[in-house]
Structure 1
């Protein structure tokens, strides 16, 4: 028997699996970022731009900036809480 070939093929399969998992994670992160941008555009535009025109006036610019900041802050809080919860649940299962 040749154990080194068995280990090598297992290692190669593991590396391929990790590469696929990394690609899926990257694609999910990109999809989440796109969703965030789309939601910010949708929510903040409808809230702040009541009369669309060629230019944004000062109050619309200020409203959009504040709306985007609040939305990003909320998104970050929810994301951190979610990740923390997943990590705690994962640790609880591993014990």
Structure 2
């Protein structure tokens, strides 16, 4: 397994909007590579990204969600198992429902 610190460095580089776009692309590719090579699982990625996915800062949360989406588009050759798919659906549904409950 990859060290969580290297994974988080790539996550931080993507989430940080002040970083150059090419550095953000390299970070997405690096995270996707970790997943493709079975060095990190989707569950580990989401767990390590918890603060980026649950923060009240809309920009950071949106960038975290975008990172997962971008990574998943790079994994089209690596099908996800049903448990992972259901876990992702549950996570994003919970996030969506909690955000909608704040709407007037």
TM-score using structure 1 length = 0.30
More helix by share: 1
Higher relative contact order (Cα pairs below 8 Å, separated by 6+ residues)? 2
TM-score using structure 2 length = 0.28
